[in-house]
Amino acid sequence: MLEVKDLTKVYNSQTVLDIPELKFKAGQSMGLVGNNGAGKTTLFRLILDLIKANRGSVWSKGEDVSKSEIWKKYTGSFIDEGFLIDYLSPDEYFQFIGRLHGLTRGDLEARLAQYEDFFAGEIRGGKKYIRDLSKGNQKKVGVVGALLGDPDILILDEPFANLDPSTQYRLRDELKKLDQQTDITMLISSHDLGHVTEFCERIVILDHGKVVKDIHTNTETLSELEDFFIQKIKGKASPVEEGEAFSESKE
Ligand SMILES: Nc1ncnc2c1ncn2[C@@H]1O[C@H](COP(=O)(O)OP(=O)(O)OP(=O)(O)O)[C@@H](O)[C@H]1O
């Protein structure tokens, strides 16, 4: 479904991402974790063809994302506010996204109605431009915008950041529901280990641009992750742990 091959990104002579191989099968949900600067956003930007790799490629349903546009139709994503059109109101923005996906007004309203609780009455029907919304409310607009096209692949960079606790739980439940009820492939980065272990069947840890753990989520995963990051503070975390890689036969 989605495959990263021998992917390298270098900034200022420093290799910030180096992933020999990473595969996601259709319907899989992956939580991407790692400390600040680990390379999570860089990986997502490369998958979305927003930046150019120094080496390697990303393949979506058999197409090289840097050489094809087809994947854009079935991929929903929200990386940061740069994805928004800040001089529009949220409703205008949703209408714009709806038109991109060929949704009728009725379809759009039906899809937006599902997120009424998530919006908590602060997003729709107002006169504010997106640029005047709080960071958390901008995030709500971006995340829902990414979901409106009913994507096969969903990529969200730190969707829980800036959201109040109640909204974080709402979003977590929405993503969990999506994971359980659809065949969507989700790649979600987060600094909240609890949220991603709650609904992602697979957790990948990036450290200094490398995949150092690739875990099938189980009841021990949260404590394994906590232990990994605690060991990092103590300077004891191991480099790439051989044999931990997610089985390739999953693909
Ligand atoms: N445009 C750029 N120019 C130079 N260096 C960059 C650029 N973009 C990212 N980097 C560097 O690449 C590394 C990885 O950054 P990235 O944003 O991918 O990390 P991250 O895991 O998403 O971090 P965070 O958790 O803080 O969001 C960092 O050292 C960052 O400074």
Q: Quick one: three-class SS letters along 149-216?
A: CCCCEEEEECCCCCCCHHHHHHHHHHHHHHHHHCCCEEEEECCCHHHHHHHCCEEEEEECCEEEEEEE
C-alpha distances in Å from residue 181, one per residue of 24, 118, 184: 18, 18, 9
Q: For ligand 1, is residue 40 a contact (CB within 6 Å)?
A: yes
> Could you read off the pLDDT of 7-37 as tens digits, one per residue?
999 999 999 999 999 999 999 999 999 999 9
204 close to ligand 1 (CB < 6 Angstrom): no
Q: Which residue has its alpha carbon closest to ligand 1 atom 24?
A: 36
- Pocket probe mutation, ligand 1, options 9, 14, 16, max atoms within 8 Å of Cβ: 16
Residue 76, SS3 per DSSP: strand
Reported ipTM exceeds the 0.90 cut: yes
Q: Is the CB of 32 under 6 A from ligand 1?
A: no
Per-residue pLDDT at 239 exceeds 80 = no
Give backbone dihedrals phi and psi of 91, rounded to 5 degrees, phi first. -65, -40
Q: What is the pLDDT confidence band of residue 126, given thresholds at 50, 70 and 90?
A: confident
Could you identify the atom of ligand 1 that is nearest to the CA of residue 44?
18
Tokens of 203: 């957790």
Host H or E run for residue 7: strand 2-11
Model-level pTM? 0.92
What the block records as the tokens of 98 is: 């709806």
Domain boundaries, the chain: 2-81+155-250
71-111 tens-digit pLDDT? 999 999 999 999 999 999 999 999 999 999 999 999 999 99
Choose the residue to mutate in 19, 33, 36 for probing ligand 1, maximizing ligand atoms within 8 Å of C-beta.
36
What tens digit of pLDDT does each residue of 173-201 get? Answer: 999 999 998 899 999 999 999 999 999 99
Fold designation for 2-81+155-250:
Rossmann fold (3.40.50)
Our answer on whether the CB atom of 142 is closer than 6 Å to any ligand 1 atom is: no
